C-alpha cells in the first residue's frame, strides 16, 4: 500500500491527469443519465383476458377460466393467481415470485402455457396475454375537453394520438372515453312488421352485400391484372338504398324502409370528464429507458404547434416530467446546501489550503459515482439522488482523517512529501475498515424482498460505489494535493486555539465519567430501554405514510341498472361538489364512469355502468400545506345522497403496496365462503379506526331469463341458436362488415333502435322468422322472467374467493393493528366454517415481507460489521465495545420521530439499518487510538482513556458533523421538502447526533469496564 501511495505522490503530473479523466468520465455520465420519478421495478405481473360473448359467469369460469388456470398452475415460480369471471369475459392476473425465480423465464413460461390451452369453447377469440412492465409507465395524461358533436372531439383526440405516437420514446397512447366511428343501423320493429321482414333477413342480405372478394388474375402478353369484386359501401346513402327484398314485379324493400342509418359512433363503454366537462383522455406511455423530461418536452412542443379546433381545449392534468423536475430540483438544492455545510465545517476544523484541497475529495468522489451509474443502467430518480445525499457527508470522512493527520505530522516537523505519505499510510487500514463497516451496514439491504426491495436496491449500491471512490481518492489523489499546496514548514498551533480549550473541558468531563463508569452503564441502560420503548411502543409504524399527497380518489357506485350516462352525470355533479369543498387547492378532477380502478393491482377494482372513480389532483402547494386527513374530512362532508355509496382515499407516494386491510377468503365450499365473509364484514365494521370495509362482490344488472318452449320451437323448425343469435343481434348489435376509409377502420353495426329495446314488452315483441318465412313473436316461443343479476365469480389460487378490504384512520389505528384484530375475528369464525382459508394481502403483506427482509438485512449488517472489526482489532472483545454503540443511535431516532409527530416508516427503518454502519466509525476511531496510545505512552489506563477522548474529539466531531450536515437539508427540506425521503434522512441525522455524543462518553467507559471484567475473570481463574 505504501508503494502505491508513493507512486502517485512521486508521479504527481500523472495523478493530475487521472483527476481530469475522472472528472470528464463523471461529467459524461451526468449528461447521459435519464430522469424519472422512481426506479424501475420488475413487477412480475401478467394479465390474460379472454372474451366469451354472452356467456354467464358460471360458464365463463368452467369453460375458460379454469382451463387456463390448469395450464398456468404447471408453471414454476408463481406467487399468486387471481381471476374474475363475469358475463362474457374472463380476466386472470398472475404474479411471479420475483425474489426466487428469474422473472423473464417465468413470464415466458406463462405465455407458453396460455398459448397451449386447447379445450376452450370453439369460436371464441384467443386469450390475450399482456405483461405489465413498470418501466413503461404514463409520462403524460391529456384531456381533450369540449363538445363531441359529429365526433369533433374524438376525431381531434385520435389525430393527437397518432401525432404523439410518432415521437421517439413513446410506446403507445391509450384513449379513454373515446368512441370509434361507426355506421349505425337502427332497425324499426314496427316497420319490420309492416313489410314482413325479419331481422335475420336484413343481416343475411347486408352481410352478403358488403364483401370485397379477390377473384383471380387476368394474364395477357404484356400485362397482368388483378380482378377484385368490391361490394362494400362507403356512405350512408348507399346503405339506405340497399335492397333487402325484391319480388318478381321489381318491387323492393330497401334498408331505408325498415331502418335508420347514421354515420355516428359506437356505444360508450367508458365516459370521462375533466373538471366536470366531458372529455376524451389520452394516456401517453413512454418506452423503457426513455428520458421522461426530454420526452414530455417534445410532446409539449407538439401540443403548442397543433391547431386546436374551435370549441375544444387541451388540458394536461398529469405531467410526470414536472414531478421529476420538482423532486430532482428539491433534492439537488438540498444536496448543494449539504455540500456547502460540509465544506464549511471542514474549513472550520481544517483552515487554509489544506482544508480546501481536502474538501475537493467530495466532488471528485461524487463525479466518479456519476461516471459509473450509466454503466449499471441507473437513472436519476428519488432513490438514487437520496442515496447520493446519504453518501454526501461520508465522502470527506477519509480525507478529514488524513488531512488532520497530515497537519499534525507537519507540526511535528516532517517535510511535506514524507508527511503526506505517512498520513495516508498510517491510517489506511482503519480508514478502509470504517468504510467497510458503512458498506456492511448498507449492502445487506439488497436482501429486501419484493417490489419494495427492488425499489430501494440502488441505495446500497450507490453508497458502496461512492465510498469505494472516496477511498481511492483519499489514498492516491489527496496526498498529492496536500503536498502541492503545503510546501512551507508548518507552525505549531498556539495554546489559545479555541478548540484546545474545548478539549481540556471535555477531558475534565470524561475524567469524572470514567471514574463513575458503573453509574454511566446503568444510566445508558435506562436510556436505551426508554428509547426502544418510544420507537417501537409509542411511535406507530406505517409502511408508506400518506404525506405530501398529490392525488386523492373518490370511488362511487349507483344503484344496479343505472345507465352509463346517468353515472357520468353523477360524476360531474360530484366533481363540482369536490371542487367547492377543496377550493383552489384542486387543480384537476378527472372522472371515469364505467370502471372503478386505480391501477392494475387494485383489489377494489369494479366494472359496470353504475360505478366510477374520480382522481383529484391537488396543486403542488396544497400537497404540502393541505394535510390529507383534512382533505378527506372535507370531502366526506359532501352530501352524496344521490349516490348509492362513495369512498375517498389517498394515492400513496411510493411503490404499490395495496389496501391497509386486505383479507382474501378462499374455499371450494361456496356456502361456507359466503356465510363467513359477510359475518366477518359485520364484525370488522365495528372495529375502531377501520373505515369503508367491504366485500369485493360485484353483481351485474338484473337479468331477463328467456325460458324457451322447446316442443314449439322444434315444431316450427327453429333452433335455440337461431333464436339466441337473433335476440343478441338486435339488442347488443351485430357487426355486419368492417370498412376502411382514409386508412381508418370502423364497423357497420346493426341493432334495434333504443325505443324498441327499452322494456320486457319490447323483448316479447321481437319476431323470429321460421323456415317458411313466417314471423313469430318471442312471447309465443318462450316465457320471460326477470331475476337478480349474476354474481361476478372471483378466484384466488385456483379456489373461489371473496376479498375484504378496508381503509384505516391513521389517527386511531395502524394497518398492523387493524389486520391483527380482523384476523382474530376470522380465526374465531373459522371454527364454524373450517373449509375456508385466509390469505393476507395488501399493506399488511407488504409490511410483513418488508419487516422480515429488514430484520435479515439488519442481522447481516451487524454480522458484517462485526467481522470487519474482528479483522481490524484481531479481537472479539474490542469489537463488542464498538458494536454496543449501534443502539445509541436509536435514542436520537426515537426522540426525533416523537417530537416531529411522524410515524416510523419503511424508509425510516432503512435509515436505521444504514445508521448502524455509520455510527460505529466514531467507536473505531476511539478504540484504535486508545490501543495505540497505550502501546506508546505506558501511562495508566485511566489517564490514557481521558487523553484519548480529548485527542480524538476533533476527528470524531468533524467526521460526524460532515455526515450530519449532508443529511440535515433533506431531513428538514431547507432547499425544498420531499416528505417521502424525510423519514430516512431524519432518522440518520438525529441518530448520528445522539449516537456521536453518547459514543464519545460511552466508549472510554465501556473500555474501562471491559478491563475491569477481564481483570476480575483472570483473578477468578487463579
Percent of the chain with pLDDT over 90: 17
Which cell numbers hold the place of 756?
324498441
- Residue 748 is placed in which grid cell? 357497420
**How does pLDDT run across 295-310, given as a tens digit for each residue?**
899 999 999 999 999 9
**Does the structure show a pLDDT above 80 at 382?**
no
Question: Which pLDDT score, from 0 to 100, does residue 150 have?
Answer: 87
- The reply to whether 922 and 985 lie within a common domain is yes
Q: Lowest mean pLDDT of 189-198, 212-221, 282-291, 494-503, name the range.
A: 494-503
Q: At a CB cut-off of 8 Å and minimum separation 6, what does 996 contact?
A: 919, 922, 956, 957, 960, 964
CA gap 376, 108 in Å, rounded: 25
List strand residue ranges (DSSP E) for 383-535, in order: none
Q: How far apart are CA 997 and CA 999, in angstroms?
A: 6
Centroid of chain to Cα 496: 57
d(CA 111, CA 95): 13
Domain closes at, from 74, 102, 134: 134
Q: Which of 1013, 991, 832, 834 is nearest to 908 (CA)?
A: 991
Most confident of 117-126, 377-386, 826-835: 826-835
Q: What is the pLDDT of residue 495?
A: 42
Mean pLDDT of 545-569: 87
Q: Are residues 692 and 739 in the same domain?
A: no
Q: What is the mean pLDDT of residues 824-835?
A: 91
175-179, 270-274, 742-746, 894-898: segment of lowest average pLDDT: 742-746
Same domain, 872 and 996: yes
Residue 531: CB atoms within 10 Å: 21
pLDDT band of residue 268 (cuts 50, 70, 90) is: confident
The pLDDT score that the predictor gives to residue 613 is 93
The average pLDDT across 531-540 equals: 76
C-alpha 77/C-alpha 122 separation (Å) is 31
User: How big is the CA angle at 694 (ends 268 and 586), to the nearest 5 degrees?
Assistant: 60
Q: What is the pLDDT of residue 487?
A: 56
CA–CA dist 718, 772 (Å, integer)? 10
In a domain, 608, yes or no: yes
For residues 848 and 489, what is the distance between their CA atoms, to the nearest angstrom? 61
Q: Looking at the structure, do residues 514 and 637 belong to the same domain, yes or no?
A: no
300 occurs within a structural domain: no
Among candidates 1000, 992, 991, which has minimal Cα distance to 963? 992
- According to DSSP, the residues that pair with 208 across neighbouring strands are none
HSE, side-chain direction, 13 A CA sphere, residue 420: 28
Helices (DSSP H) in 166-306: which residue ranges?
189-194, 199-209, 236-240, 255-258, 292-305
Same domain, 880 and 977: yes
Residue 430 lies in a domain: yes
Domain end: 618, 634, 651, which one? 651
Looking at residue 603, its pLDDT comes to 64
DSSP 790: P
The dihedral formed by the CA atoms of 142, 145, 150 and 156, expressed in degrees to the nearest 10 = -30
Please tell me which residue, 1005 or 790, carries the higher pLDDT value: 1005
CA atoms of 841 and 806, how far apart (whole Å): 12
Cell of 206: 347486408
What's 777's domain CATH number? 3.30.2090.10
Contact 684, 693 (CB under 8 A): yes
CATH code of the domain containing 622: 3.30.70.1430
pLDDT of residue 590: 94
Q: CATH number for the domain including 676?
A: 3.30.70.1440
Left (φ > 0), alpha (ψ -120 to 50) or beta: where does 920 sit? Answer: alpha
Q: Which residues, at least 6 apart from 500, have a Cβ–Cβ distance to it below 8 Å?
A: 493
In a domain? residue 912: yes
Choice between 33 and 834, residue whose per-residue pLDDT is larger: 834
Return mean pLDDT, the chain.
Answer: 84
Bridge partners for 1005 per DSSP: none
Handedness of CA 901, 903, 907, 913 (dihedral sign): positive
- CATH number of the domain encompassing residue 990: 1.20.1640.10
Q: For residue 213, which of 232, 227, 229 has the smallest C-alpha distance?
A: 229
Looking at the domain assignment, is residue 611 inside a domain? Answer: yes
Are the C-beta atoms of residues 921 and 434 closer than 8 Å to each other?
A: yes
Does 220 reside within a domain? Answer: no
First-to-last alpha carbon distance for the chain, in angstroms, is 44
733: closest CA among 267, 268, 271, 265? Answer: 267
According to the model, what pLDDT value does residue 141 have?
93
- At 573 the pLDDT is 93
Which residue has better confidence, 916 or 515?
A: 515
Question: Whole-angstrom Cα distance, residue 943 to residue 508?
Answer: 11
Task: Identify the sign of the CA torsion 258, 263, 269, 272.
Answer: negative
Q: What is the pLDDT of residues 875-903, one digit of tens each?
A: 888 888 888 888 888 888 888 888 888 88
User: How confident is the model over 56-65, as a mean pLDDT?
Assistant: 90
> Which helix (H) or strand (E) segment is 171 a member of?
strand 170-176
Residue 658: pLDDT band by 50, 70, 90 thresholds?
low
Is 340 a domain residue?
A: no
Reported as type and span, the H/E element at residue 159 is helix 152-165
3-state secondary structure of 893: helix
What is the tens place of the pLDDT at every residue in 751-768?
898 888 888 888 888 888
Instruction: Give the pLDDT score at 529.
Output: 85
Number of neighbouring beta carbons within 10 Å of residue 536: 12
Residue 796: strand pairing partners: 82, 799
The pLDDT tens digits of the residues spanning 6-18 come to: 887 778 788 888 8
Q: Looking at the structure, do residues 45 and 101 belong to the same domain, yes or no?
A: yes
CA 299/CA 402 separation, integer angstroms: 51
**Number of compact structural domains in the chain:** 6
d(CA 728, CA 420) in angstroms, rounded, equals 90
Give residue-wise pLDDT tens across range 560-604: 888 899 999 999 999 999 999 999 999 999 999 988 887 766 667
Does the pLDDT at position 914 exceed 50? yes
Q: Which of 495-499, 533-537, 762-766 has the highest mean pLDDT?
A: 762-766
* 129/7 same-domain check: no
The closest of 506, 599, 518 to 551, measured between CA atoms, is 599
- If asked whether residues 630 and 666 sit together in one domain, one would say no
- Are residues 52 and 3 part of one domain? no
Asked whether residue 533 falls in the same domain as residue 668, the answer is no
Residues 789, 969: Cα–Cα separation, whole Å: 58
Query: Within 10 Å of residue 459's Cβ, how many Cβ atoms?
Result: 28
What CA–CA distance (Å, rounded) separates 438 from 440? 5
Pairing verdict, β 181-187 and 744-752: parallel
Q: 10 Å Cβ neighbour count for 860?
A: 18
Beta bridge partners, 690, equal: 808
Asked if residue 616 has pLDDT above 90, the reply is yes
- 96 shares a domain with 61: yes
* Helix (H) / strand (E) containing 111: helix 103-115
Query: What confidence score (pLDDT) does residue 504 get?
Result: 85
pLDDT classification of 393: cutoffs 50, 70, 90: low
- Select the highest-mean-pLDDT range: 269-278, 547-556, 977-986: 269-278
Residues 1002 and 920 in one domain: yes
pLDDT at position 430 over 80: no
pTM: 0.79
Which residue is associated with the grid cell 367508458? 270
Q: Would residue 288 count as lying in a domain?
A: no
Domain boundary among 651, 680, 712: 651
Using 50, 70 and 90 to split pLDDT, how confident is the model at 920? Answer: confident
Buried b (16+ CB within 10 A) or exposed e, 663-702: bbbbbeeeebbbebbebbbebbeebebbbbbbbbebebbe
Per-residue confidence (pLDDT) for residue 877, from 0 to 100: 84
Domain that holds residue 373: 1-32+350-485
Task: Assign 488 a pLDDT band (cuts: 50, 70, 90).
Answer: low
> Is the pLDDT confidence value at 489 over 60?
no
Which residues on neighbouring strands pair with residue 971, listed in sequence order?
A: none
| 282 or 14, which is more confident | 282
Amino acid at each position: 500500500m505504501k508503494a502505491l501511495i508513493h507512486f502517485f505522490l512521486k508521479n504527481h503530473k500523472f495523478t493530475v491527469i487521472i483527476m481530469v479523466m475522472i472528472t470528464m468520465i463523471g461529467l459524461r455520465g451526468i449528461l447521459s443519465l435519464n430522469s424519472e420519478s422512481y426506479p424501475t421495478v420488475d413487477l412480475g405481473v401478467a394479465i390474460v383476458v379472454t372474451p366469451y360473448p354472452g356467456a354467464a359467469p358460471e360458464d365463463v369460469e368452467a369453460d375458460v377460466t379454469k382451463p387456463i388456470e390448469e395450464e398456468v398452475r404447471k408453471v414454476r415460480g408463481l406467487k399468486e393467481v387471481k381471476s374474475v369471471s363475469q358475463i362474457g369475459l374472463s380476466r386472470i392476473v398472475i404474479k411471479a415470485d420475483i425474489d426466487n425465480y428469474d422473472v423473464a423465464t417465468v413470464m415466458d413460461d406463462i405465455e407458453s402455457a396460455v398459448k397451449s390451452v386447447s379445450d376452450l369453447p370453439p369460436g371464441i377469440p384467443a386469450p390475450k396475454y399482456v405483461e405489465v412492465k413498470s418501466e413503461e409507465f404514463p409520462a403524460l395524461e391529456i384531456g381533450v375537453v369540449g363538445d363531441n358533436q359529429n365526433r369533433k372531439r374524438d376525431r381531434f383526440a385520435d389525430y393527437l394520438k397518432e401525432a404523439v405516437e410518432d415521437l421517439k420514446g413513446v410506446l403507445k397512447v391509450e384513449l379513454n372515453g373515446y368512441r370509434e366511428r361507426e355506421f349505425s343501423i337502427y332497425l324499426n320493429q314496427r316497420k319490420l312488421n309492416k313489410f314482413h321482414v325479419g331481422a335475420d333477413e336484413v343481416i343475411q342480405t347486408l352481410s352478403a352485400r358488403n364483401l370485397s372478394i379477390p377473384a383471380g388474375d387476368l394474364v395477357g402478353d404484356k400485362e397482368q391484372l388483378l380482378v377484385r369484386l368490391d361490394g362494400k359501401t362507403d356512405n350512408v346513402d348507399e346503405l339506405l338504398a340497399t335492397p333487402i327484398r325484391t319480388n318478381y314485379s321489381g318491387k323492393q324493400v330497401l334498408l331505408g324502409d325498415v331502418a335508420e342509418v347514421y354515420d355516428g359512433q359506437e356505444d360508450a363503454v367508458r365516459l370521462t370528464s375533466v373538471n366536470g366537462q366531458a372529455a376524451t383522455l389520452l394516456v401517453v406511455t413512454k418506452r423503457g429507458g426513455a428520458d421522461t423530461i426530454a420526452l414530455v418536452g417534445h410532446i409539449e412542443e407538439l401540443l403548442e404547434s397543433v391547431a386546436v379546433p374551435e370549441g375544444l381545449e387541451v388540458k394536461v392534468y398529469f405531467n410526470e416530467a414536472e414531478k421529476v423536475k420538482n423532486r430532482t430540483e428539491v433534492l439537488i438544492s438540498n444536496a448543494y446546501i449539504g455540500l456547502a455545510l460540509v465544506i464549511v465545517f471542514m474549513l472550520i476544523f481544517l483552515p487554509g489550503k489544506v482544508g480546501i484541497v481536502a474538501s475537493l475529495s467530495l466532488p471528485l468522489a461524487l463525479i466518479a459515482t456519476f461516471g459509473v451509474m450509466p454503466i449499471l443502467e441507473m437513472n436519476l430518480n428519488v432513490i438514487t439522488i437520496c442515496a447520493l445525499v446519504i453518501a454526501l457527508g461520508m465522502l470527506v470522512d477519509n480525507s478529514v482523517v488524513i488531512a488532520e493527520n497530515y497537519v499534525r505530522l507537519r507540526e511535528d516537523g516532517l517535510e511535506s512529501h514524507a508527511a503526506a505519505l505517512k498520513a495516508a499510510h498510517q491510517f489506511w487500514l482503519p480508514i478502509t475498515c470504517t468504510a467497510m463497516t458503512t458498506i456492511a451496514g448498507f449492502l445487506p439491504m439488497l436482501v429486501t424482498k419484493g417490489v419494495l426491495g427492488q425499489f430501494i436496491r440502488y441505495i446500497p449500491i450507490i453508497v458502496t460505489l461512492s465510498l469505494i471512490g472516496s477511498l481511492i481518492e483519499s489514498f492516491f489523489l489527496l496526498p498529492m494535493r496536500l503536498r502541492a499546496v503545503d510546501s512551507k514548514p508548518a507552525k505549531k498551533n498556539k495554546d489559545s486555539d479555541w478548540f484546545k480549550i474545548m478539549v481540556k473541558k471535555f477531558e475534565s468531563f470524561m475524567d469524572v465519567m470514567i471514574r463513575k463508569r458503573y453509574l454511566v452503564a446503568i444510566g445508558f441502560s435506562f436510556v436505551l430501554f426508554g428509547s426502544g420503548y418510544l420507537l417501537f411502543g409509542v411511535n406507530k409504524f406505517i409502511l408508506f405514510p400518506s404525506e405530501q399527497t398529490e392525488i386523492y380518489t373518490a370511488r362511487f357506485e349507483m344503484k344496479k341498472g343505472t345507465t352509463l350516462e346517468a353515472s357520468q352525470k353523477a360524476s360531474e355533479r360530484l366533481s363540482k361538489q369536490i371542487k367547492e369543498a377543496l377550493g383552489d387547492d384542486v387543480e384537476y378532477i378527472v372522472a371515469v364512469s364505467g370502471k372503478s380502478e386505480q391501477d392494475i393491482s387494485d383489489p377494489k377494482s369494479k366494472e359496470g355502468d353504475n360505478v366510477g372513480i374520480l382522481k383529484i389532483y391537488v396543486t403542488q402547494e396544497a400537497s404540502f400545506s393541505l394535510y390529507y386527513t383534512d382533505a378527506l374530512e372535507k370531502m366526506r362532508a359532501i352530501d352524496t345522497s344521490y349516490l348509492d355509496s362513495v369512498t375517498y382515499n389517498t394515492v400513496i407516494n411510493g411503490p404499490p403496496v395495496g389496501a391497509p386491510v386486505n383479507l382474501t377468503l378462499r374455499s371450494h365450499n361456496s356456502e361456507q365462503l359466503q356465510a363467513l365473509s359477510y359475518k366477518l364484514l359485520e364484525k370488522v365494521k365495528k372495529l375502531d379506526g377501520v373505515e369503508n370495509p367491504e366485500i369485493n362482490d360485484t353483481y351485474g344488472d338484473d337479468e331477463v331469463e328467456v325460458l324457451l318452449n322447446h316442443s314449439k320451437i322444434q315444431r316450427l323448425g327453429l333452433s335455440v341458436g337461431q333464436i339466441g343469435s337473433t335476440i343478441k343481434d338486435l339488442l347488443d348489435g351485430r357487426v355486419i362488415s368492417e370498412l376502411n376509409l382514409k386508412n381508418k377502420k370502423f364497423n357497420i353495426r346493426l341493432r334495434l333502435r333504443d325505443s324498441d329495446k327499452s322494456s320486457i314488452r319490447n323483448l316479447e315483441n321481437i319476431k323470429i322468422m321460421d323456415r317458411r318465412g313466417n314471423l313469430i313473436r318471442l312471447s309465443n316461443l318462450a316465457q320471460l322472467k326477470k331475476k337478480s343479476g349474476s354474481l361476478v365469480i372471483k378466484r384466488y389460487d385456483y379456489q373461489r374467493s371473496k376479498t375484504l378490504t378496508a381503509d384505516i384512520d391513521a389517527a386511531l389505528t395502524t394497518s398492523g393493528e387493524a389486520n391483527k384484530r380482523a384476523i382474530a375475528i376470522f380465526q374465531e369464525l373459522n371454527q364454524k366454517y373450517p373449509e375456508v382459508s385466509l390469505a393476507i394481502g395488501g399493506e399488511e403483506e407488504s409490511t410483513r415481507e418488508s419487516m422480515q427482509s429488514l430484520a435479515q438485512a439488519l442481522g447481516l449488517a451487524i454480522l458484517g460489521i462485526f467481522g470487519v472489526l474482528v479483522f481490524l482489532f484481531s479481537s472479539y472483545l474490542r469489537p463488542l465495545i464498538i458494536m454496543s454503540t449501534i443502539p445509541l443511535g436509536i435514542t436520537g431516532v426515537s426522540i426525533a420521530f416523537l417530537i416531529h409527530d411522524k410515524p416510523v416508516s419503511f424508509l425510516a427503518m432503512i435509515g436505521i439499518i444504514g445508521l448502524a454502519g455509520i455510527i460505529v466509525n466514531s467507536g473505531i476511531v476511539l478504540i484504535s487510538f486508545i490501543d495505540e496510545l497505550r502501546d506508546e505512552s505506558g501511562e495508566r489506563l485511566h489517564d490514557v482513556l481521558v487523553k484519548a477522548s480529548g485527542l480524538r474529539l476533533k476527528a470524531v466531531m468533524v467526521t460526524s458533523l460532515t455526515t450530519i450536515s449532508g443529511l440535515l437539508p433533506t431531513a428538514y427540506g431547507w432547499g425544498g421538502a420531499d416528505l417521502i425521503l424525510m423519514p430516512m434522512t431524519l432518522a440518520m441525522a438525529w441518530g448520528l447526533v445522539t449516537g456521536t455524543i453518547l459514543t464519545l462518553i460511552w466508549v472510554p467507559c465501556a473500555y474501562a469496564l471491559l478491563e475491569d471484567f477481564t481483570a476480575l475473570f483472570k483473578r477468578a481463574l487463579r
